[in-house]
């Protein structure tokens, strides 16, 4: 235990200064040595998640010896043996996950304190100079040790007033991702409601004369957290910071790749070096087009239900029809079936979709994909407001047959993901994200891995300022609907600026990319006339007038 480093940290906190640190998840002690060489105020060695064993934890603790960097160990659970072991090897304190009650906090303080105040046993390990410094260490350990409860659940927020009254704690750390999961939005870092609850807890903690910490997600978030009153500020996780740096260099090298949860390569996960030009067998036979919702042919589907078809036979699409469907207030689309798969994304309003009696209520950007032959209907739940959907069908000549509704209705849970082998539902708020290009974030709605046998693939994407994908082609047609903001669409040097609700149709083999050149985010719903989102990256010059690989023969 480094009493001088702990005193320095406390002095900064008492002086209302920020204390910056690093969350360590990788095994190399060189990472912690770098943190101490940079004179960071603290490191947390994460022994809750990941692969670190006690030897590796000890190596990280050793890397902070004779420095002013406080070393904390995050343990797997509230456990007297684990707390004792971390402190015995020389940690300056412990971080304990999933703390939810005042009694748990009192237990934590007891586990970290020698008798008579607590129940920590005295060991002949590193903390006591291998038994040579029992008296010196025990004399100050109870006062010096840092015990940090992690606040990462709705229940903890409900009990925060009682928790902060427990003596022996001075720092509380927040875990927004777990907190958000307990609030019903698993997979997101922090929803607006969770952000409000965390700020409320922060105010309660600060009012009790104690301090708060959180890991920042980036530079802007770091500044915002400081302004909000968080003083123990994590600059990031070691692995996350490494990946961010790799993203910058891969962007410069025009290598756009992502990590998948399975850690296996996929069509979008691995993109080799760009080809100098597309292979001849991909030569396109049709031009691209851009169609606004106002220009699209209107097809009445039912009373108060209208499809504006933006991609289909009328503009040369093959194997794909997409468009926007508007529902008047309280309008319904009767039960029907298609001989092809259909995918539906809610853009505006409140909608319910029923599949063979199973009723799903959709929120904005939720998606439901319905394989061929399944009877389904849709209904606008709002009696006063119009609703709008993006729809896509895996045919350029889709058909439908009206059918009788099933005899019984089953209300599906709000978090239902559908039925295996039948419809598939993606809840946008909790769906996994990935980044196929710089300043982008994507969600997969459908493909044959998610829905075996589906004939198409697609999803949602948001592009920040400068966000883009590399120049590429597909072995199938693509529909890209701009659902918010404005995009620059470049197809072999031809430039288009589709805005809100405009849809671009890019035929098989056309070299193209999208980029957001505006200051506001740009959102899109994309659908491919192929079961997996495969793409072939080509040299950027192929997307210019001079380098258009098909220009010569098309000119003839």
Measured between alpha carbons, how far is 481 from 208 in angstroms, rounded to an integer?
A: 51
At which residue do the structure tokens 């670190």 appear? 52
- Provide φ and ψ at 17, rounded to 5°: -100, 150
Measured between alpha carbons, how far is 217 from 194 in angstroms, rounded to an integer?
A: 16
Write the DSSP assignment of 153-189 as a string of letters. Answer: SHHHHHTHHHHTTSTT--EEEE-HHHHHHHTT-TT-S
- Provide φ and ψ at 434, rounded to 5°: -150, 165
What residues contact residue 111 under an 8 Å CB cut-off, 6+ apart?
Answer: 78, 79, 80, 83, 84, 118, 119, 120
Of these residues, 49, 273, 314, 428, which one is catalytic? 49
Taking the CB of residue 11, how many other CB atoms lie within 10 A of it? Answer: 11
Closest to 54 measured CA to CA, from 81, 21, 23 = 81
Residue pair 420/366 in contact by the 8 Å Cβ criterion: no
CA distances from 490 to 25, 172, 468, 517 (A): 41, 50, 11, 12
Measured between alpha carbons, how far is 130 from 89 in angstroms, rounded to an integer?
A: 10
Measured between alpha carbons, how far is 375 from 334 in angstroms, rounded to an integer?
A: 10
Length of the chain counted residue by residue: 556
Q: Pairing relation of β-strands 171-174 and 146-151?
A: parallel
Closest to 478 measured CA to CA, from 315, 279, 277 = 315
At which residue do the structure tokens 């008798």 appear? 115
Measure the CA angle with vertex 541, ends 539 and 546; round to 5°. 150
Closest to 217 measured CA to CA, from 234, 238, 231 = 234
Measured between alpha carbons, how far is 138 from 352 in angstroms, rounded to an integer?
A: 64
Structure tokens at 165: 């009254």
Q: Exposure of 226 by Cβ count < 10 A (0-12 exposed, 13-18 middle, 19+ buried)?
A: middle
Known catalytic membership, residue 49: yes
Catalytic amino acids?
Answer: 49
């Amino acid at each position: 235990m480094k009493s001088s480093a702990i005193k320095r940290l406390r002095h900064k906190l008492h002086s209302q200064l920020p204390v910056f640190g690093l969350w360590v998840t990788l095994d190399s002690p060189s990472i912690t040595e770098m943190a101490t060489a940079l004179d960071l105020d603290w490191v947390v060695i994460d022994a809750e998640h990941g692969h670190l064993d006690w030897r590796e934890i000890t190596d990280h603790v050793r890397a902070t010896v004779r420095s002013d960097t406080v070393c904390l160990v995050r343990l797997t659970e509230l456990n007297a043996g684990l707390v004792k072991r971390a402190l015995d090897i020389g940690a300056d304190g412990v971080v304990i996950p999933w703390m939810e009650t005042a009694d748990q906090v009192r237990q934590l303080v007891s586990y970290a304190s020698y008798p008579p105040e607590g129940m920590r046993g005295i060991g002949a390990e590193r903390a006591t100079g291998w038994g040579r410094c029992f008296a010196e260490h025990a004399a100050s350990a109870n006062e010096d040790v840092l015990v940090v409860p992690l606040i990462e659940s709705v229940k903890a927020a409900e009990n925060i007033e009682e928790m902060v009254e427990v003596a022996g704690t001075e720092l509380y750390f927040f875990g927004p991702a777990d907190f958000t999961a307990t609030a019903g939005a698993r997979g997101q870092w922090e929803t607006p409601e969770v952000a409000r609850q965390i700020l409320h807890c922060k105010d309660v903690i600060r009012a009790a004369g104690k301090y708060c910490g959180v890991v920042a997600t980036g530079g802007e978030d770091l500044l915002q957290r400081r302004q909000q009153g968080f003083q123990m500020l994590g600059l990031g996780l070691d692995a996350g910071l490494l990946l961010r740096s790799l993203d910058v260099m891969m962007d410069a090298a025009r290598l756009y790749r992502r990590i998948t949860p399975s850690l296996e390569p996929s069509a979008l996960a691995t993109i080799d070096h760009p080809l100098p030009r597309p292979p001849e067998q991909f030569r396109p036979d049709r031009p691209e087009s851009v169609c606004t919702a106002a220009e699209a042919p209107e097809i009445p589907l039912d009373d108060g239900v209208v499809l504006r078809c933006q991609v289909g036979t009328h503009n040369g699409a093959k194997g794909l029809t997409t468009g926007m469907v508007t529902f008047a207030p309280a309008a319904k689309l009767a039960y029907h079936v298609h001989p092809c798969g259909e995918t539906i994304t809610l853009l505006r309003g409140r909608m319910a979709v029923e599949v063979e009696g199973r009723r799903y209520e959709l929120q904005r950007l939720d998606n439901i994909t319905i394989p061929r032959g399944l009877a389904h209907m849709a209904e606008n739940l709002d009696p006063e407001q119009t609703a709008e959907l993006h729809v896509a069908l895996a045919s350029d000549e889709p058909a439908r047959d009206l059918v009788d509704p099933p005899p019984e209705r089953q209300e599906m849970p709000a978090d239902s993901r559908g039925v295996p082998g039948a419809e598939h539902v993606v809840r946008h708020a909790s769906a996994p994200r990935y980044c196929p290009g710089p300043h982008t974030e994507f969600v997969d709605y459908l493909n044959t891995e998610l829905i075996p046998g589906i004939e198409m693939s697609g999803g949602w994407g948001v592009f920040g300022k400068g966000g883009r994908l590399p120049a590429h082609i597909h072995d199938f047609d693509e529909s890209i609907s701009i659902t918010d903001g404005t995009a620059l669409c470049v197809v072999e040097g031809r430039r288009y600026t589709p805005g809100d609700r405009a849809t671009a149709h890019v035929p098989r083999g056309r070299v193209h990319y999208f980029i957001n050149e505006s200051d506001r985010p740009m959102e899109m719903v994309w659908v491919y006339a192929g079961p997996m989102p495969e793409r072939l990256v080509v040299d950027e010059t192929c997307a210019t007038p001079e380098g258009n690989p098909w220009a010569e023969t098309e000119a003839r």
